[in-house]
Amino acid sequence: MTADATTLLLLYLLALLALAAPLGAYLARVYRGEARVAQRVLGPVERLLYRLSGVRADEEMSWKKYAGCVLLFNLLGALLVYALQRLQAALPLNPAGLASVSPEVSFNTAVSFATNTNWQSYGGETTMSHLTQMLGLTVQNFVSAATGMAVLVAFVRGFTRRTTDGLGSFWVDLTRSTLYVLVPLSLVLALALVSQGVVQTFHGATAAHLVDPVTRAHHTFGEQALALGPVASQIAIKQLGTNGGGFFNVNAAHPFENPTALSNFLELLAILLIPAALCFTFGALVNDRRQGWAVLAAMLVIFIPLAVATTTFEQAGNPLLTGAGVDQVASALSSGGNLEGKEVRFGIAGSALWATATTAASNGSVNAMHDSFTPLGGLAPLALIQVGEVIFGGVGSGLYGMLVYAILAVFLAGLMVGRTPEYLGKKIEAYEMKMASLIILLPAAATLLGAAIACAVPQGVASLGNPGAHGFSEVLYAFSSGANNNGSAFAGLDVSGVFYTTAIGLCMLIGRYWVIVPALAIAGALAKKKLVPVGPGTLPTNTPLFVGLLVATVLVVGALTFIPALALGPIVEHLQLGAR
C-alpha cells in the first residue's frame, strides 16, 4: 500500500464511522416514530400519503402479510419498469429518439432494478430514455432500497418483540425509509455532486468540437456527441441505495458521473453510508448498542483486509508487463500499478477501494473495470459478493443477511456451550435453522448452477470475451453478482443475449425474494417467542469472541462453497500468471 492508499482508506473509514453513527441513531428514531424534528417537517406529507393510499399507520402485519405486501409492491414496480422500456419510443422525454427496449433486456432490467441489483445488460445512454431512467429506474432505486430497509426493520422487530404476531406495517416502513432517509440524503448528495461537475439537465446531448479530428473508415469526425441527462439525481440515489445502475454505460468511471477526486470520495462514502448506519440502528433498536458494534466490527474485520489486499495486488501491477519493461512503480506523476481499465484521475487507491466497497455493499457501481484487475485483485471483490453480500451488503438486505449468519454462528456456538442456542434472547430452533439454511443455500445454488449451465450450453460459452480461466471468472462473477444482487459486472462477457438476460434475471429474483421471504418467516417465528433472560450461561453476542466467530462463520461458509470454483477461475489464473 502506498501512503496515498493508506491515507485514503483511513480517511474513508473515519468519515464513514463519523457519519454512520449519528445517521444510524436517527434511523432508529425514524422507525420508532420518534424523529421529532423530521416529523414536524415531513409528517404532514407522510400522513397525506397514508390518507391517499388508505394505509392505516398503526397496522400490525403478520410476517405472511408483510411478505405479501413486499412481493406485491415489487411486482408492480417491476411491471411498470418493464412497460416503460417496452413503450419508451412512444413516450415523452426521449430526446435522443431511442427505440423501445427488447423483451429480454426489459425483463432483465425490470427485475434488476426491482431487486436492488441494478445489473445492466445494456448501455444506459444508448438504450434508456430520460423518462425510463427517471420514472422507471430512479424510482426503483428509491423504493427497492426502501424495501430492503423495511424488511430489515421488520426482521429486527422479530427480536425486540415478544409473543406477538405483528411485525409492523410494510407501507409505513417503506414510506418512512424513502421520505425521511433516502430522499433528503439524495438531495444533499446530488447537490454536492453537481458542485463537482456532475451534470443535471433534461437536454439530450451536446456536441463537442474535437481539437484533433478523428478519421475512421474514410470519414473524418470533427464533432463528438456528449450524452447528457438528469445524472446527478440518479447518481445520488444509486450510490446511497446500494443500487449501482449507472446513467452511463461506464458507470462511475464516466467523467459526467464522477468527475473529481472529491466526487469519487463522496460517492464512495455514499456506498457504505446507510449499510453501516443500519448497524447502529440495529444496536439502538435492540437496546444494546454493543450488538450493533459487534456486527459492524465483523463487517470491518472482513472488509479492511480485503480492501488492503485488492489495493496491494493492483499496486503490484501485472508481472507480465513488468517483464516487458513497463514502468508500474508509483511516482509523483503516476499512481503506478495495474492501470489497465482504471481512470488515471482515481489511480490505484481510488479504484481499488471503490471496487472493494461496491462489492462489499451490493452496490455494483464501478469506477474501474473489474475485468482488468489482476486475478487476485479481482478475487477480493468476487469473494465479497460470494459471501452473500453481507459485509455491509445492500441497504437493509446486507444486515438481515448478516444477522442470519449470526443466527447460524450462534447455533453452533450455543451447542458448544451446552445450551439451546439463542440470539438476542430468542431461542434458535429447527424452524429458524430451516429458513436460515434456505437463505444461505439458495443464492449459492443459483450462482453455482447458473455458472455450470453457462459453461455447458453453447449460448453461454459463445458470449465469452476471453478464453480459459479468465473467461470462467467472468461467468462466475456474472452469476455471483446476479444471485447476490450486487449488479457489478466483470465485463468482458456479452450479457445482452436471451440466455444471460433470462438466467441472470432468474438468479436476481431468487437472490432477492428467496432471502426476503425466509428472513421474514424467521422474524415472524422469533416475534412469537418469549424472551430468554440473559445470565452467565448465555453466550454474549457483543464481544470480540463473538465477532471472531461471526467472521469465521461467514468466511467458512463462503469458502467451502466456492473454493473449488474459485480454484478454476482467479486462483489458477494467478498461478498461471506467476508461472509464465
Partner 1 sequence: MSHDPHPPRPLFERAIVRTAIFEALAKLDPRRMIRNPVMFAVEVGSAFTTVLFVHAVLTGHGDAPPAFILAVALWLWFTVLFANFAEAMAEGRGKAQADTLRKARQDVLARRLRRGVEATAHLADPARRSEALDEVVSSSLRVDDVVFVAAGEPIPADGEVIEGVASVDESAITGESAPVIRESGGDRSAVTGGTRVLSDWLIVRVSTNPGETFLDRMIAMVEGAKRKKTPNELALDILLAALTIIFLLATVTLLPFSRYAVTSSGHGAPVPLTILVALLVCLIPTTIGGLLSAIGIAGMDRMIQANVIATSGRAVEAAGDVDVLLLDKTGTITLGNRQATEFLPAPGVDERELADAAQLSSLADETPEGRSIVVLAKERHGLRGRELEPLGATFVPFTAQTRMSGVDVEGRQIRKGATDAIARFVEAHGGVFPAKVRGMVEDVAKLGATPLVVADGAHVLGVVQLKDIVKGGIRERFVELRRIGITTVMITGDNPLTAAAIAAEAGVDSFLAEATPEAKLAMIREYQQGGHLVAMTGDGTNDAPALAQADVAVAMNSGTQAAKEAGNMVDLDSNPTKLLSIVEIGKQMLMTRGALTTFSVANDLAKYFAIIPASFVGVYPALGALNVMGLRSPTTAVLSAVIFNALIIVALIPLALRGIRYRPAPAPALLRRNLLVFGLGGVVLPFPCIKLLDLALTALGVS
* Residues at the contact surface with partner 1, assessed by CB under 8 A: 408, 411-420, 425, 428-430, 432-434, 437-438, 440-441, 444-445, 448-449, 451-453, 455-456, 461, 467-469, 471-472, 530-533, 535-540, 543, 545, 549, 552, 556-557, 559-565, 567-568, 571-572, 575-576, 578-579
User: In angstroms, rounded to a whole number, what is the distance separating the alpha carbons of residues 30 and 412?
Assistant: 34
In terms of Cα–Cα distance, which of 298, 567, 568, 558 is closest to 441?
A: 558
Query: Dihedrals φ, ψ of 502, to 5°?
Result: -70, -50
Q: Which three cell numbers stand for residue 250?
A: 461506464
Q: CA separation (Å) from 559 to 146, 202, 567?
A: 31, 47, 11
Query: Shortest gap between Cβ of 579 and partner 1 (angstroms)?
Result: 5
Number of Cβ atoms within 10 Å of the Cβ of 383: 21
Instruction: Work out the number of other CB atoms within 10 angstroms of the CB of residue 119.
Output: 28
Task: Please name the residues in contact with 106: beta carbons below 8 A apart, sequence gap of 6 or more.
Answer: 81, 82, 85, 86
Q: Which residue is associated with the grid cell 429458524?
A: 432
**Which of 165, 156, 169 lies closest to 407, judged by CA?**
156
Nearer Cβ to partner 1, position 261 or 433?
433
Burial class (CB in 10 A: 0-12, 13-18, 19+), 183: middle
Nearest approach, Cβ of 445 to partner 1 (angstroms)?
Answer: 5
Cβ 455 to partner 1 shortest distance, Å: 4
Nearer to partner 1, 11 or 320 (CB): 320
Nearer to partner 1, 31 or 479 (CB): 479
Comparison of 335 and 561: residue with beta carbon closer to partner 1: 561
CB of 568 to partner 1, least distance (A): 5
Assign residue 47 a region (left: φ > 0; alpha: ψ between -120 and 50; beta: otherwise). alpha
Instruction: Provide the total of helices (H) and of strands (E) in the chain, helices listed first.
Output: 22, 4
Nearer to partner 1, 342 or 426 (CB): 426
User: What single string gives the DSSP state of each residue in 431-451?
Assistant: HHHHHHHHHHHHHHHHHHHHH
Nearer to partner 1, 330 or 440 (CB): 440
- Residue closer to partner 1 by CB (options 54, 458) is 458
CA dihedral 152, 155, 161, 165 (to 10 degrees): 120
In the bound complex, what is the minimum distance in angstroms from residue 330's beta carbon to partner 1? 28
Give, in order, the Cα–Cα distances in Å from 14 to each of 21, 247, 260, 354, 380.
11, 29, 20, 16, 22
Residue 154: CB minimum distance to partner 1, A? 22
Q: Which is nearer to partner 1, 414 or 482 (CB)?
A: 414
Residue 453 beta carbon to partner 1: minimum distance, rounded to whole angstroms: 7
Dist. CA 565–CA 349, nearest whole Å: 28
| Least CB distance to partner 1 at residue 419 (A) | 5
Whether 325 contacts 337, CB under 8 Å: no
Residue closer to partner 1 by CB (options 99, 412) is: 412
State which residue, 97 or 418, has the beta carbon closest to partner 1: 418
Distance between CA atoms of 452 and 560, rounded to whole angstroms? 17
Rounded Cα distance between 314 and 570, Å, is: 14
Task: Please state the closest distance from residue 301 (CB atom) to partner 1, in A.
Answer: 16
* Contact call for residues 492 and 519 (beta carbons, < 8 A): no
Residue whose CB is less far from partner 1, 47 or 419: 419
Backbone angles phi, psi at 136, to 5 degrees: -90, -70
Among 554, 552, 576, 572, CA closest to 564: 572
In the bound state with partner 1, the residue whose beta carbon lies nearer, of 201 and 287, is: 287
Nearer to partner 1, 61 or 442 (CB): 442
The C-alpha atoms of residue 247 and residue 528 are separated, in whole angstroms, by: 44
CB of 390 to partner 1, least distance (A): 16
Q: Please, where are the H alpha helices in 317-393?
A: 319-323, 347-360, 375-386
210, containing H or E segment: strand 205-216
Judged by beta carbon, residue 207 or residue 559, the one nearer partner 1 is: 559
CB of 473 to partner 1, least distance (A): 11
Q: Give kind and range of the element (H or E) at residue 427.
A: strand 426-427
Alpha-carbon gap, residue 570 to 376, rounded angstroms: 6
